[in-house]
Structure 1
Amino acid sequence: MSGNSFGRLFRVMTWGESHGPALGAVIDGCPPGIPLSEEDIQKDLERRRPGKKLTTARREPDEVRILSGVFEGVTTGTPISLVIFNKDVRSRDYEALKDVYRPGHADRTYEQKYGVRDWRGGGRSSGRETVARVAAGAVARKFLSQEGIRVFAGTVALGDVTCRVHDWEAAAENPLFCPDPEAARAMEKQLQEVRAQGDTLGGIVQVNAVGCPPGLGEPVFDKLDARLAAALMSIGAVKGVEIGAGFASACMLGSENNDTPTADGYASNNAGGVLGGISSGMDLVVRAAVKPIPSIAKEQRTVTRDGKETCLRIGGRHDIAAIPRIVPVCEAMVLITLADFMLHPFPGRRCR
């Protein structure tokens, strides 16, 4: 099975399954001399950790251990290996599903490709895999912070509730990481209503990056926005990505959409900080559309591995929405992408 690595110069490989002994990441290409501790990584893992309000009842401490690449509190430039052990595994919850294809899941496609699948919580296709991405993203954050780049994310839509206010400091004050306190309360109410119905919700996550220098991105096929889209679309629940005005730009006139250059930047930012595939120096603005969690308590029609029609209700411990736990995952993939591009040749950097 290939395709478990992302990045060219700042390279991240994740490994492990939902119900295996552990998950982890190996980061190759991180520059030396960057202060890094397990506590630095733990801060980001805490934001994604299950077992909190509005999330699955699975209780994982998600405690990270650094196995290599750090000596006397700083990175050495050698591969950084991270491990997170699974503690609250209940594979018996999935035994009744081992011969049934769950609607909306990757059960059938994995089996069609490999001839075998890990039915314990989805194995490698489980959202549990993303814990390793968040750990790697925390390492990228430490590198980028030394370059003056700050990345943060929040929930801007959940179900039919959409933010009208974007107070990013307020996003840290509620469990949904929503920058609109009034919308956050409405989102929580909707989550409870949908939970009672045995159903799930989707939403939209916005990731902002402040302090990106102009010049990140490699045209033509390695544009910054193309790599960001690939990074976010690699997250299992993400079904769409837009940069800046995104799909709304299709309904705008050119005179409305164009970002007019000024002496110190641009008069607007419909491009979301990327022009011609290269960062413009404006804030990076990326949004990801997140589908509803496919594991629902309502009865659904499906088939077994031998093609027999059947119905099932999915029990066990599941989120009602990938939000809020997917928010730090989206943030991590943007961090990793930016860290990778910061290590690319940068002839115009002196003109920042």
Structure 2
Amino acid sequence: MHPLAPVGTLFAVTVWPLLAAFLLLLTPENRQYASSLTFAVAGLLITPLAVWLMPGTDALAAACSCLVTAIPLLLPQAQDRTGRILPFLVTGCALLALNIHSAFAVTVLCGAGTVLLAWREGRGPRKALVVWDMARSRLGGVVLGLLGASLLPMQQSSLGAVLLTVGLCMVAGLGPSPAPAPEAALLDTGLRFSVLMLMFRLSAYPLVHLLMLIAGFGTIIMLVSSRSSGRNMSLPMLSAFGALAAATGEGTALVLLLLAALGLAVLDLRGAEGEDGIAAGAAPWPVFCALVGIGRSLETGQLVLLVVCLLPALWSVRHRTLLPAFARGERGMVAVMQAVLLLGGLCGPLFLAWHPVTGWRP
């Protein structure tokens, strides 16, 4: 640990979204917009500096934390107090889940984040039933995951790891799952990839590798066969790729997929269209680089299956310019995010050469 960075200070910086939510609760209504923007910018600036000094934090968790911390700033401003506070709480759950060294605690935090997200999206009477239906299966996964995490200390049996993996697959939204609303998809991205990072740390357990491959390939086949597009495809598809990355131990691919998921969620939120090719793995975007990293660790038969699964989605992708927003003369958030995604894709091959050591395993 850095001598100038006390543990208490670093812990407080890591949970800055929770502190921001508490301060927003005390802030008068007419000053909440400016205060929430200030907290989001401050967190985005502080976290990339502080998270690398956290004792025991590995490089993968730090890289994912730097991306997740941008979520409150990427969201449009809500019109009420609750809508401004809950995004910070959900982001805080995801940020803590990435940095805490306990499978049980990570599962609890992801479950809490799911409940907070469902609360935010289901506040209207017409939305409540749909949103809580979406959350029900994921909360069932939390229960399974907690049971598995409590059995992990039994070294002579792999039952705990298997139950934990099955539960985490449900919490990560793998399998049949309704598409969340645009703002919910952005918040949900941080929670899903916190779960996928824990799955990555479990890949050394017996049977877990196989379960992750089945969940990942099964979700991809389901999405391709249903001819999903837009938001119905992007986040579930990237979560499925994340399961494959976790199974193969490709942590750098997980970071690239997280970058792509956040970028696509922002583009969808801003009304951009024609981004299906990015989620399907078209070059030269980050998902393509992530798939290259995953493919190098798959067996030959599994690699062929992955290519066959992706061909229908890639075949339907229309030709497009690399930066359509810039071509139309736009200089807003859509143009910036497209440029960030393109830069991530171009730097992806260099990123794949990085092989960070996993800091801890359950």
Please give the TM-score of this superposition, normalised by the length of structure 1.
0.25
User: Higher relative CO (CA 8 A, sep ≥ 6), structure 1 or 2?
Assistant: 1
- Structure with the larger helix share: 2
- Structure with the larger strand share: 1
Please give the TM-score of this superposition, normalised by the length of structure 2.
0.25
